Amino acid sequence: MQKTVSVVIPCYNESEVIDYTVEELLNVTNSIEGYQFELIFVNDGSADDTEAKLLNYSKQHEIVRLISFSRNFGHQPAVSAGIEAATGDAVVLIDADLQDPPHLIKDMIELWEKGYDVVYGTRENREGESRFKLASAKWFYRILNYLSEVSIPLDTGDFRLMDRQVVNQLNAMPEKNRFIRGMVSWIGFNQTSIRYQRNARFAGETKYPLRKMLKFGLDGILSFSVKPLKLSIIMGFISSGIALLMLLYTVYVRLATDHWQSGWASMLVAMLFIGGVQLISIGILGEYIARIYNESKNRPLYIVKKNLGQKNDDETSRSS
């Protein structure tokens, strides 16, 4: 039996480019022999005629499917819906604006057949983006990687192929603030990358204004690191340490010299002490909140790849 590959394309107000995208994807998938394809377009509440166009294509071509949201929910929810609806043995995520070259799907499939479970595209070069976007993206991926407990590949977006077993794990993760590229890293299995030049947008303009970029960046950092929560406990200890030194100095000035003022020492000692205690207390709260947060994400405790020497050696995972 032929394997099926699903391609998920989130679309938000992409009327200007969608005809080219559909055509290009149909061409590419037609040219790859030996596989069945389904193209799942997720219309994320577009206000233009993206939905009408896609509806038309879905009537013309059997492999085109359409999911349409009731309003704009955002890129990551749109991708999640597509992944959930996909029936393929592998799922490819690709943007609707042809920034990620569709012909790479062939290379991704080849690597998948060699045994890789995730093949992600790493951007070697990005054309047609503002300086601000380039610099902020560059720093974002580096800070995220530093903060995160799993290593998340640098300069890598959602353009990727995932094997069915990775997709199943992804679907089983119930968290609401989804940062898919991080979740896929977290899931593990055999992952590899292909490097590519990211083109400029084929038509239209970015659907990621600063506001959405910030939300997305915060989701990434906060979903994959509790280090910001732990910051105050570190600050608490540092400031308490400094306070202790100042405290000793204050007492020394009060007792051993004669240029002190009345009330100065007692007030400063009280202030420094309370400041330190407050920061440490907030830090302790942070530690508890970090634990509650991690529990509430409800990710599996671990994911088993192989379990040899047992009767039932299915891939299994256990919920925490």
- The residues that touch ligand UDP, with contacts defined as CB under 6 A, are 10-12, 14, 44, 72, 74-75, 78, 95-97, 99, 206-208
75 interface partner picked from ligand UDP, Mg ion, none, CB below 5 to 8 A per type: ligand UDP
- Work out how close the CB of 14 gets to ligand UDP at its nearest, in angstroms, rounded to a whole number: 5
- Work out how close the CB of 18 gets to ligand UDP at its nearest, in angstroms, rounded to a whole number: 9
91 interface partner picked from Mg ion, ligand UDP, none, CB below 5 to 8 A per type: none
4 interface partner picked from ligand UDP, Mg ion, none, CB below 5 to 8 A per type: none
* Strand, coil or helix: 34: coil
The smaller minimum CB distance to ligand UDP, of residues 72 and 122, is found at 72
- Please provide the distance, in angstroms rounded to a whole number, between the alpha carbons at the two ends of the chain: 37
Residues that bind Mg ion (CB under 5 A): 95, 97, 99
Beta-strand pair 156-163/90-93: antiparallel
The smaller minimum CB distance to Mg ion, of residues 17 and 152, is found at 17
268 interface partner picked from ligand UDP, Mg ion, none, CB below 5 to 8 A per type: none
**Helical ranges in the chain per DSSP H:** 15-31, 50-60, 75-85, 104-113, 131-147, 164-171, 180-187, 210-224, 227-256, 264-297
The smaller minimum CB distance to ligand UDP, of residues 170 and 265, is found at 170
Look at residues 30, 34, 25 and name the one whose alpha carbon lies nearest to residue 100.
Answer: 25
- Single-letter code of the amino acid located at 239: S
| Rounded Cα–Cα distance for residues 147 and 46 (Å) | 35
198 interface partner picked from ligand UDP, Mg ion, none, CB below 5 to 8 A per type: none
78 interface partner picked from Mg ion, ligand UDP, none, CB below 5 to 8 A per type: ligand UDP
The smaller minimum CB distance to ligand UDP, of residues 198 and 299, is found at 198
In the chain, the DSSP E strands lie at 3-11, 35-43, 64-68, 90-93, 118-126, 156-163, 191-198, 300-303, 317-319
The smaller minimum CB distance to ligand UDP, of residues 14 and 219, is found at 14
CB 198, CB 125: distance < 8 Å: yes
- Work out how close the CB of 11 gets to Mg ion at its nearest, in angstroms, rounded to a whole number: 11
| Rounded Cα–Cα distance for residues 236 and 214 (Å) | 28
Segment holding 136, helix H or strand E: helix 131-147
Radius of gyration (Cα) for the chain, nearest Å? 26
What is the chain's length? 320
20 interface partner picked from Mg ion, ligand UDP, none, CB below 5 to 8 A per type: none
The smaller minimum CB distance to ligand UDP, of residues 130 and 312, is found at 130
Side-chain half-sphere exposure of 285, counting CA atoms within 13 A: 8
The smaller minimum CB distance to ligand UDP, of residues 107 and 129, is found at 129
- Single-letter code of the amino acid located at 255: L
Q: In the numeric block, which tokens belong to residue 311?
A: 């009767």
